[in-house]
Amino acid sequence: MAETGSRGNEGRGRLAVVVGGGAGIGAATCLALASYGWRVAVADINVEAAKSVAGQCGGDWYPIDIFDAASIEKAAADIEAKSGKIYGCVCAAAVFQDKKPPEDTPIEAFDRVIQGNVRGTYLVNVTFAKRMAANGGGAIVNFSSWSGQFSSPVHGYCSSKAAVNMLTESMAVEWGRSGVRVNAVTPGFVLVDRMVERLRVGGRYSVDLNSISPLNRIPAPSEMGEAVTFLLSDRASAVTGTNLAADAGVMAASAWTVYGGIPGPRAQKT
């Protein structure tokens, strides 16, 4: 179980909702927020997973379906009714895509990715931002992806995350004078269970993923949680409309392979 407030009381007991908090980056974010003194509402379509994470972070759990506007509205209303004013919201729910040529990808699969990641993120932002604005302010963090910055063979997914980037900027301007900040976190590869399994099985990636990172590693889910806690906190009070890369430098190094790759460590002087 996370030690609530073990890193201080930065959250000051304020309430943060994590949509998609039942697993992976979302679950790690719930634990990070609790450790900084936030009260956490874990919202997920997987009720058993939400219950488990809520138990670990000392929070409450709520069912939510990002495809269903009524479900999102009900979750927000239920959270307010039970726990009071919502100050923070994290949209970590996402729909992923198999790596297939577009001619082999059913349009229904493409539509599901776009609807979940774009429409779902939009609905979450509007539903919670309007409540924050009515209550005097708050902060939202959306999860994007480095796939939203560059083309990739997961066509629907990269397109959806590019849209999330622009949606984040638009929402930041829309709600800024109502006291609501809106930012995004952009991971690269992250060692969630799905990624760990892919690396174990092999075959999906043609390079060692550590080799494309200047830090020579793949970040842990907990590091995404740290980025979120910063953006929700008062330390980021002047930050809105920003996309914070938490990718171990993968995007910064994307063109270096053309010039021989990322430099190795410098020799230590004695």
CA-to-CA distance for 90 and 31, rounded, in angstroms?
Answer: 13
Identify whether the C-beta of residue 231 lies closer than 8 Å to the C-beta of residue 139.
Answer: yes
User: In the structure encoding, which two tokens stand for residue 268, read together?
Assistant: 């230590």
Residues 6+ apart with CB under 8 A from 17: 40, 41, 43, 75, 76, 79, 86, 88, 89, 90, 128
Which residue pairs from 169-177 have beta carbons closer than 8 angstroms and sit at least 24 positions apart in sequence?
A: 169/241, 171/125, 171/129, 171/140, 172/240, 172/241, 172/242, 173/241, 174/129, 175/129, 175/132, 175/133, 176/240, 176/241
Question: In the beta sheet, which residues pair with residue 60?
Answer: 41
Active site residues: 157
- DSSP, res 117: I
Which one-letter amino acid corresponds to residue 226? E
